[in-house]
Structure 1
């Protein structure tokens, strides 16, 4: 049977968000539009490629702060495995690092979760037809970033972290365990563990893999030039 409602084309939408209540409300809002239908839901991006193949969406609406594989990393993978599939990100994160990471990954739109129903519906329709969408506050920040990019140095990727916590997160993003981080920074194992715990709390992550994903999305974790030319340390 054709995907139509009253002979109008139906935009097929896949929702990926780890909050069931938010997914339910978003589904109700999208399904209330005559030209939009939700064809699937997921609470994480672990099997997203398979779900996309099964549901054949026209648009994926995704949270950036997913458990496990972050939304930003999921966008990057989708752009590789399903080129041309537009992704609209709805997120609570309003920091510039998250915004820029999503855009670099290939997101077609970026709205905060407080956006109204009409704004979300219009955003889905726009990205489905090849456009790009950003909420008013997001557009202002993009303009400010572009205007100031040649005049100012970029700020730290995670301003809520202390300098020491940022150093620890950098090494976590390189795949170092706590013992090796302690050696690299000449710290005790306990001090490293305490720093890692504070980092998890400030980034609102539960697992090391989530912290690594967020850090790499923000540009952390690249080996120094001298190390990049050598074989990886087997330790």
Structure 2
């Protein structure tokens, strides 16, 4: 996705003022091209499937189909499309559902003007992005371990790998982990692949889901 061509983006939100503001923010970026706008979930699905789209930015609450439903339908047909969800709500269940579907970015609407460009840059690098305020909230609300003992699985990991899982559970990006541990991003990526293999994790966001649900500080 990261090449000389512009990033092709679909935006969907049922609030016309917010949609217009989002469009204006994105149009200031020289490497972005808005190829479709929609004000409901049905049009968002049709737009994403009918057009060449790199990233779909979707409001989680829309008539016709909500953002999660749109994401699920689009990714079932076009798994290469990166999905960024916009939400007014700090809800763990919706966030975990988004990860399960394969959503790449999760942005709070109250911070969208600041966060959306960072989110686009991250998902364009095939990384996940979560609004910092959302990360802080989820850390505060993290439940105690449910079912099973993660220690058995974590014992399969080296000390370095365990540290990386702990940082992933704190919603740290690959770049942030590399900076904190004074290693390269490539080394972090290799660790992540090895961890996923050892834990028999597969699918998009599977390691992040494991870290969020199983690791306790």
Trace 1:49-198 onto structure 2 (pairs within 5 A).
49-144=45-140, 148-150=144-146
Q: Which residue of 2 aligns with 1:36?
A: 32
1:110 to partner: Cα distance: 0.4
Tell me if 1:10 matches 2:6.
yes
Deviations 1:71-91 (A, max 9, x none): 111111111111121100111
Bigger fraction of residues in helix: 2
Q: Which residue of 2 aligns with 1:19?
A: 15
- Which consecutive unaligned segments of at least 5 residues does structure 1 have? 1-6, 152-235
1:128 to partner: Cα distance: 2.1
**What RMSD, in angstroms, separates the aligned Cα atoms of the two structures?**
2.2
1:124 to partner: Cα distance: 0.9
1:102 to partner: Cα distance: 1.9
Greater displacement, 121-130 / 92-101:
92-101
How many equivalent pairs are there? 145
TM-score, normalising length: structure 2: 0.60
Could you say which structure has the larger radius of gyration? 1
1:18 to partner: Cα distance: 0.6
Deviations 1:113-148 (A, max 9, x none): 011534211111211221100011222344456663
Task: Quote the Cα distance in structure 2 between the aligned partners of 1:55 and 1:9.
Answer: 16
Q: Which residue of 1 aligns with 2:163?
A: none
Instruction: Report if the CA contact (8 A) 1:64-1:89 is conserved.
Output: yes
Instruction: Report if the CA contact (8 A) 1:15-1:23 is conserved.
Output: yes
